[in-house]
Amino acid sequence: MKTKRFLKKLHEDIIKFPAYMISHPFKGYEDFKFGKKGKLYVALIFLALMSFIQVLKFTSLGFIMNPNNPKDLNSIKLTSFVVFPVILFTIANWNVTTLFDGKGKIKEIFMMVCYSLFPFILTSIIVIIGSNYLTMDEIVLLDVIHYIGVFGVVYLMFFGMINIHEYSPLKVIITTIMTVVAIGIILFIMLLVFTLVRQVYTFFFAILKELIKRY
């Protein structure tokens, strides 16, 4: 009985509520923020699922659609290509919106981004299964499904930002542009730091090498 209740709760959290959010974005995000229906563990599951989907897409996409060399599979790289942008967007968006008096907390922004991946995960599963059973002429259908997924992500993120920060749609667009700029700045600073660290490292490494060679 206990497991049944647990499964029911999982179903409610992971499938039913995100689906409800798609069909009722305003009501859904209200529940998400104030009704405490958005849960961190669900967000993390979605993030993990998204990473897993990326790996699965690399390995199991049908032969006709798959442009990847199976020898090049690097699951760490694929995972970081999912996780890193999400974190980057979260931080950049939080930085921008605190300046523009957004009401969202960093945890809420992160959860919002992860919940927004839900439609893309769904369509990706359809694409992966379908690509194994379709011919080249029918692949167009999967492209359409893929773009529906991408649209779903944008859609959920847009309404998410409206509701979480209590913004007007225009303000969301402006802050999104600002967020992109902020991401650029963050990346630039990261590049600087990394090159600096690398130079320091090579400097000390050279000293160490010299010491070893001398003694």
Of the pair 131, 175, the CB lying nearest other proteins is at: 131
Of the pair 133, 215, the CB lying nearest other proteins is at: 133
| The one among 1, 2, 135, 213 contacting other proteins by CB under 8 A | 135
User: How many angstroms separate the first and last alpha carbons of the chain?
Assistant: 72
Please name which of 44, 58, 49, 125 lies closest in space to residue 87, comparing C-alpha atoms.
44
Binding to other proteins, residues 98-117 (CB under 8 A): none
Cα 140 to its chain centre, rounded Å, is: 25
Token pair belonging to 176: 């999104």
Under rule CB under 8 A, residue 129 binds other proteins? no
Under rule CB under 8 A, residue 212 binds other proteins? no
Of the pair 59, 168, the CB lying nearest other proteins is at: 59
Under rule CB under 8 A, residue 215 binds other proteins? no
Residue 109 · residue 33 · CB < 8 Å:
no
Q: Which amino acid is at 97?
A: T
Helices 75-99 and 106-116: angle between axes, nearest 10 degrees: 130
| The one among 137, 211, 212, 213 contacting other proteins by CB under 8 A | 137
Binding to other proteins, residues 27-66 (CB under 8 A): 63-64
Least distance (Å) from other proteins to the CB of residue 198? 20
Q: Which amino acid is at 42?
A: V
Of the listed pieces 10-18, 129-137, 149-157, 204-212, which binds other proteins according to CB under 8 A? 129-137
- DSSP readout, 2-32? HHHHHHHHHHIIIIIHHHHHHHSHHHHHHHH
Q: Which residues bind other proteins (CB under 8 A)?
A: 63-64, 69, 71, 133, 135-137
